[in-house]
């Protein structure tokens, strides 16, 4: 049963809601003429009525048992925020121009994660459109948008959303979002949307008034877990399954990034993720374009990405945290929290070869064995990165990588990610070394909730012994400080770093050995004493090898033996990349010794 307000044209609208424990439900229409229409009970706890005299823009709520008035749990638009009435919209009114769009092949994904509110000074969908040509010029093929489901106020990361179907009003609402997606497709960019199916935010969350959406059976990290496997769970499961298809169908989204799937608790015979991948595969075939499901998972469990025949959920890809942690510790030397499980070149070596670093061995930070082997999984199943909203924003001072490593370190990070055998992802501004922080920010209206978040931030500062006052996430200041400084990318070192990223992406897309994502066509080794990674990749008629020196001193190495003639095509120590000097030879022969400067990335291609 499709929930929500479905406009039927001719001033008629069908309202459907799931409220299995209510004795009577009515839709209360506020404008243009106030009326209360009793809804008819249907099977499995659904209620429905067709109302006359209802046009797009009409405000409405549901009246439960003649007492409380609540916005629609499947509202498509909340023009007055999370506590206001829902609004009827005409989904078919938008004039799409992307009829020829066929999508992006998975192996061609180069992802750019962004937050609409801080991506531009205006913080709207419409304002973001102006920057699409620059992303296309860089070589990006897909943008990944942090959650846009309606959240309280105007400032939020999006993970406090409480109306999964409603597009945030302060960003431009559903009309603005469609404009952005349409413009992306016209520019040749796919759109991946971050969705949250493991919890619902606290303020404006009225789902529990309608039915048993939540369960106390599991201890969720963000409040009560969603009820995917208990009594009445069919209605909850269908609500979120239909939500996924809603974004893909109605908004022409190309893929969904599923937030923290380890928080989706479901012990049913047909778990939510299993059913979701089936539904999306059917829709993909119907529409004739590839639709992606990407997981964020803390489990290091290949069942997330394995095929149904292998007993998996068949999601298309997942974020690879181990790759990030391995690279981050080498660049920064940090060893606190989960970083204590990493820090060796052999960790990055294993991640470059397999994906997961922890594949069943003991993890000191977790105090248990962790993960299973991903060695047999396709390279295109893993998304790698050095910055993301989590890895920046969850730091106590929200520092980006330029505050944690040198300019040479930024180039090492770019080379390692963009020339890896996996799908690379950049966090907005990373391509030019954006130095603004990306804080955690909110704009709640509930005083108790605001104080709780503020106390949490204070305790976080005290725990690490930070002097001074912690920043206030409720204040507009952290939000404003988190906005990108777009003008930076056209001057000085920022422009050089942008050009470096652009060059790396061009190499990735034009050299067959780099373009082909195949774990079987690579060899990687490391030397711990020198903080050195050496990698050989090949495809038919194409070979490259590259050397990455994470150390603070020069180190010697031998040219890869698979070719007698190697020609240098990238050297991060060259002056044009603001390196101190280039000492690496332009040509090398098999087993020939050379010395690579400290903090340098060098790429050689086999020449005939």
Q: Active-site residue numbers? A: 259, 296
Beta bridge partner(s), residue 548? 533, 601
Question: Where are the strands (E) in 160-306, listed by range?
Answer: 163-167, 190-195, 214-215, 225-226, 255-258, 292-295
Structure tokens at 309: 């025949």
Cβ-based neighbour number of residue 27 at 10 Å:
25
The answer to whether residues 601 and 504 touch, using CB atoms and an 8 Å cutoff, is no
Helix and strand totals (H; E) in the chain: 15, 31
CB 540 within 8 A of CB 587: no
CA–CA dist 417, 400 (Å, integer): 16
- The full 3-state SS of 452-484, as one line of letters, equals HHHHHHHHHHHHCCCCCCCCCCCCHHHHHHCCC
Question: How far apart (Å, rounded) are the C-alpha atoms in residues 516 and 260?
Answer: 29
Q: Are 145 and 191 in contact (CB under 8 A)?
A: yes
Collapsing DSSP to helix, strand or coil, 236 comes out as helix
CA–chain centroid gap for 452, Å, is 27
* Helix intervals (H) in 188-271: 207-210, 233-250
CA dihedral 318, 322, 325, 329 (to 10 degrees): -150
The alpha carbon of residue 382 and the mean position of all alpha carbons in its chain are separated, in whole angstroms, by 13
Chain-centroid distance, C-alpha 254:
13
E strand or H helix at 409, and its extent?
helix 407-418
Contact partners, residue 595, CB within 8 Å, separation at least 6: 554, 555, 556, 557, 583, 584
d(CA 314, CA 302): 10
């Amino acid at each position: 049963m499709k929930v929500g307000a479905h406009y039927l044209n001719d001033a008629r609208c069908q309202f459907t809601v799931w409220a299995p424990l209510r004795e009577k439900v009515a839709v209360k229409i506020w404008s243009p003429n106030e009326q209360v229409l009793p809804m008819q009970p249907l099977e499995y706890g659904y209620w429905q009525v067709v109302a006359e005299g209802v046009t797009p823009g009409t405000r409405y709520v549901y009246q439960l048992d003649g007492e409380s008035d609540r916005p629609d749990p499947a509202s498509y638009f909340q023009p007055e925020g999370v506590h206001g009435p829902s609004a009827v919209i005409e989904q078919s009114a938008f004039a799409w121009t992307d009829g020829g769009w066929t999508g992006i092949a998975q192996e061609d994904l180069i992802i750019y994660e962004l937050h609409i509110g801080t991506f531009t000074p205006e913080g709207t969908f419409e304002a973001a459109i102006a920057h699409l040509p620059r992303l296309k010029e860089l070589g990006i093929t897909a943008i990944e948008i942090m959650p846009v489901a309606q959240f309280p106020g105007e400032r939020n990361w999006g993970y406090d959303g409480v109306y999964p179907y409603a597009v945030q009003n302060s960003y431009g609402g559903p009309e603005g979002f469609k404009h952005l997606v349409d413009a992306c497709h016209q520019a040749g960019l796919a759109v991946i949307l971050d969705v949250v199916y493991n919890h619902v935010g606290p303020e404006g969350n009225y789902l529990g008034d309608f039915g048993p959406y939540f369960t106390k059976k599991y201890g969720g990290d963000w409040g009560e877990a969603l009820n995917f496997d208990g009594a009445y769970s069919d209605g909850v499961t269908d609500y979120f399954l239909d939500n996924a298809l809603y974004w893909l169908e109605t908004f022409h989204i190309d893929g969904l990034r599923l937030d923290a799937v380890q928080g989706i608790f479901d012990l049913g015979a047909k778990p939510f993720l299993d059913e979701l991948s089936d539904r999306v595969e059917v829709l993909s075939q119907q529409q004739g374009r590839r639709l992606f499901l990407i997981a964020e998972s803390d489990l290091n469990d290949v069942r997330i990405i394995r095929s149904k025949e292998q007993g998996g959920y068949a999601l298309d890809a997942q974020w690879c945290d181990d790759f990030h942690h391995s690279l981050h510790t080498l660049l920064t030397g940090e060893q606190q929290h989960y970083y204590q499980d990493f820090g060796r070149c052999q960790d990055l070596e294993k991640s470059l070869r397999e994906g997961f670093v922890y594949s069943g061995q003991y993890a000191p930070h977790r105090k248990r064995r962790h993960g299973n082997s991903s060695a047999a999984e396709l390279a295109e199943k893993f998304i790698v990165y050095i910055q993301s909203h989590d890895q920046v924003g969850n730091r106590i001072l929200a520092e980006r990588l330029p505050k944690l490593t040198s300019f040479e370190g930024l180039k090492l990070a770019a080379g390692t990610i963009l020339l890896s055998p996996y799908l690379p992802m950049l966090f907005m501004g990373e391509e030019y070394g954006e130095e603004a922080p990306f804080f955690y920010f909110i704009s709640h209206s509930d005083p108790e909730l605001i104080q709780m978040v503020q106390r949490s931030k204070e305790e976080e500062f005290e725990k690490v012994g930070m002097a001074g006052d912690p920043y206030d996430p409720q204040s507009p200041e952290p939000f404003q400080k988190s906005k990108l400084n777009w003008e930076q990318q056209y001057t000085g070192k920022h422009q050089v770093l942008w050009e470096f990223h652009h060059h790396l992406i061009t190499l990735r897309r034009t050299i067959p050995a780099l373009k082909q994502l195949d774990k079987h066509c690579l060899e990687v080794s490391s030397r711990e004493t020198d903080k050195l990674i050496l990698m050989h990749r090949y495809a038919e008629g194409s070979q490259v090898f590259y050397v990455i020196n994470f150390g603070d001193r020069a180190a010697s190495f031998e040219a890869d033996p698979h070719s007698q003639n190697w020609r240098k095509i990238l050297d991060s120590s060259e002056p044009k990349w603001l390196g101190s000097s280039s000492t690496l030879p332009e040509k090398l022969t098999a087993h020939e010794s050379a010395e690579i400067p400290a903090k340098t990335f060098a790429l050689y291609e086999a020449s005939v």
